[in-house]
Amino acid sequence: MNIHPTTAGMLLAGVLFVLGLISILVRRDIIFMLLSVEVMLNAAALAFVVASAHWGTADGQVMFVFILAMAAAEVSVGLALILQLYHQLKTLDSDEAAKMNG
């Protein structure tokens, strides 16, 4: 098997991203959907680092740091939103939140 390292890394990032996408489309538990977003963000960040290793520049790794900070902020706000949703609806089913008419 003679695959170029950049190709192999991009393939891995693509597979992880698609797994997260499948999960976010299939699952109805809202915490699982948040987890899937994490998986997809992580795959995108991996693609950036692989590109950084391919070109030999630091820009991809800089982007990884930004994605990391964004993921942390996104998770904290998302968990607070889920907490509110759970207190309002007493369930974690995202279909319940479709009826948001106040």
Partner 1 sequence: MMEPAFYIAAAIAVIATVMVITRYNIMHALLYLVVSLLAVAVVLYLYGAPFIAALEVIVYAGAIMVLLIFFVMMLNLGKESAMQEQQWLKPRIWIFPSLLCLVLLGELVFLISQNHQPPSEIKVVDPKAVGMALFGPYMAAVELTGILLMAGIVGAYHLGRQKEKTLHRFLEN
Helix axis angle, 59-89 to 30-55, nearest 10°: 180
As beta bridge partners, residue 93 has 29
Min. distance of Cβ 6 from partner 1 in angstroms?
Answer: 7
Q: Assign residue 80 a region (left: φ > 0; alpha: ψ between -120 and 50; beta: otherwise).
A: alpha
Pattern 43-82, partner 1, x by CB under 8 A:
---x--xx-xxxxxxxx-xx-xxx-xxxxxxxxxx-xxxx
Q: Which residue has the tokens 């192999």?
A: 8
Interaction residues for partner 1, span 17-36 (CB under 8 A): 19-20, 22-23, 26-27, 29, 31-32, 34-36
Query: Contact between 97 and partner 1 (CB under 8 A)?
Result: no
Query: Which contacts qualify for 60-65: CB closer than 8 Å, 24 or more apart?
Result: none
Q: Is the separation of the CB atoms in 20 and 36 below 8 Å?
A: yes
Chain residues binding partner 1 by CB under 8 A are 1-6, 8-9, 12, 15-16, 19-20, 22-23, 26-27, 29, 31-32, 34-36, 38-39, 42, 46, 49-50, 52-59, 61-62, 64-66, 68-77, 79-84, 86-87, 92, 102
